[in-house]
Amino acid sequence: MLRSVRASCKLLGGNNFRSCLLMDGAMVRSAEIHFVSGNPGKISEAESIMKDNNIKVKYMKLDLPEYQGEPNFISEAKCKCAASIVKGPVIIEDTSLAFDALHGLPGPYVKWFLDKLGPEGLYKLLSGFEDKSAAAICTLAFSEGPEKGVNLFHGITRGKIVSPKGNKGFGWDSCFLPDGKDKTYAELSFEEKNSISHRRKALLLLKDFLSKRSSA
């Protein structure tokens, strides 16, 4: 039987995104779960956090449709598509970078902005704005399989967009300076970044969810 827990939401400062933990779905047992990602950096970070879990996770790459819409819709649609292909439990990740001055853009479309502009171009998008604040958002979507519900887990790290610095990490890491730090994601060590990253926060929520479900 499906169990439901009221979504816990809070408005992110400066934009219209909401951070929600949706707890609707069937019970997860010990079946192997496919984590869909073709990004080696994301996989390394996920492995370092999920490795101590008693849930078996297998990483795989799938070519999924590029949906458009709000972050939650995109994540749910991708997860349902992946579950229909895998025919079993699946996790997908979608990342957003929301600039407060641009009312949440580029948001879930940051991949395409980055491909065309690079980290320096992302920084220059805010050249006409005093407000450089931003939110790095990781959305993990989990489904037990085809025709099952989708559970969403959001991890958020606030910071600001700066001129690119550092050569570690990947993607837009070099232009994101997390609050409370004097180094960009790309200047931090792997361990330092993993201790504060948006991805870690979402993965810990997912890890806790799966552990509780598997032992219930």
Residue 76 annotated as binding site: no
Token readout for 37 is 């990602």
Q: Where are the alpha helices (DSSP H) in the chain?
A: 40-50, 71-86, 110-124, 190-196, 198-215
Is 187 known to sit in a ligand binding site?
A: no
**Is 95 annotated as contributing to ligand binding?**
yes
Any known ligand binding at 131?
no
Q: Does 173 show up as a binding residue in the annotation?
A: yes
Do 136 and 160 meet the contact criterion of CB atoms below 8 Å apart? no
Q: Is 112 annotated as a binding residue?
A: no
94 labelled ligand-binding: yes
Handedness of CA 176, 172, 102, 92 (dihedral sign): negative
Cβ atoms of 185 and 179 closer than 8 Å: no
Which structure tokens are listed for 199?
């991805």
Q: Please enumerate, as own/partner, the contacts of 174-180 that have beta carbons within 8 Å and a separation of 24 or more.
A: 174/119, 175/119, 175/120, 175/122, 175/123, 176/97, 176/134, 176/136, 178/136
Residue 208 annotated as binding site: no
Q: What are phi and psi of 50, to 5 degrees?
A: -90, -10
Whether residue 34 is annotated as binding a ligand: the answer is no
Residues within the annotated binding site? 66, 78, 94-95, 170-173, 193, 198-199
Residues within the annotated binding site for Mg(2+)? 66, 94
Residues within the annotated binding site for ITP? 78, 94-95, 170-173, 193, 198-199
